[in-house]
A and B are shown apart, each in its own frame.
Chain A
Amino acid sequence: MNISWLHAAASLGLAYLGMLGLCLGMARHYRQRYHHPLTPGRGRVLRLAGWSGCLLALAPCLAGWGAAQGVVLWIGLLSAAATGLVFLLAWRPPWCTRGGALAVLTVLAWLGSLAFGG
Chain B
Amino acid sequence: MKAPTFTQSMSWLHTWSGLLFGWLLVPIFFTGTLAVFEPEISHWMRPEIRHAPAEPARALAVAEARLRQVGEGAPIWRVQMPSSRQPAVGIVWGSREQTREEVLHPLSGEVLPVRATEGGHFFTHFHAELDAGKVGRAIVCLVGLVMLAALINGIVVHKKIFQDFFTFRPQSSAQRSWLDAHNVLGVLGLPFLLLITYTGVVILVDSYLPAATYHFYDGKAGGPRGDVVRSFERRPAGVAAPLPSLAPLLQEAETVLGAGHVGWIGIRAPGDREATVQFMRHLDDRLGAVADHITFAAVSGWELGRQTEWNPVAYAFRTQVGLHLVHFGGYPAQWLYFLSGLAGTAMMAVGLVLFTIKRRKRPGHEFGTATARVYGAIESLNVATVAGVMLASAAFLWANRLLPADLAERAAWEIGAFFAVWALTLVHAGLRAPGAAWRGQFYAAGLAWALLPLCDVAGAPGLLDAMRLGVDLTALVGGLALVYLGWRVSRRFAAAAAKEAA
Q: Contact residues of A with B, CB < 8 Å?
A: 2, 4-5, 7-8, 19, 22-23, 26, 28-29, 64-65, 68-69, 72-73, 75-80, 82-83, 85-87, 89-91
Contact = CB atoms under 8 A, between A and B. Distances in A.
7 contacts: A5-B331, A7-B332, A23-B166, A69-B329, A72-B323, A83-B185, A83-B188
Given A68-B287, A83-B185, A89 B168 contact: yes
A77 B336 contact: yes
A73 B185 contact: no
B330 interface: yes
A73 B185 CA distance: 18
Given A4-B332, A80-B340, 12 more contacts: A4-B330, A8-B332, A23-B165, A23-B166, A69-B329, A72-B195, A72-B287, A72-B323, A73-B336, A76-B340, A83-B343, A86-B166
Nearest to B328: A69
Interface residues of B, number: 29
Given A68-B287, A80-B339, A80-B340, A86 B188 contact: yes
Given A4-B332, A65-B329, A76 B166 contact: no
B329 A72 contact: yes
Contact of A2 (B286, B319, B330): B330
A1 to B, nearest CB: 10
Contacts of A2: 330-331
Contacts of A79: 188-192, 340
B158 interface: no
A75 B191 contact: yes
A42 B195 CA distance: 35
Contacts of A64: 332
A90 B176 CA distance: 14
Interface of B: 165-170, 184-185, 188-192, 195, 286-287, 319, 323, 328-333, 336-337, 339-340, 343
Contacts, number: 79
Contact of B329 (A26, A73, A83, A87): A73
A80 B341 CA distance: 11
Contact of A90 (B165, B168, B331): B168
Given A87-B168, A90-B168, A90-B169, A80 B333 contact: no
B287 A76 contact: no
A77 B264 CA distance: 32
Given A79-B188, A79-B340, A26 B166 contact: yes
Nearest to B164: A28
A22 B188 CA distance: 14
Contacts of A77: 336
Nearest to A19: B166
A86 B336 contact: no
B188 A82 contact: yes
Contacts of A19: 166
B83 to A, nearest CB: 15
Contacts of B328: 69
A86 B287 CA distance: 30
A90 B177 CA distance: 11
B166 A82 contact: yes
Contacts of A90: 168-170
Nearest to B326: A72
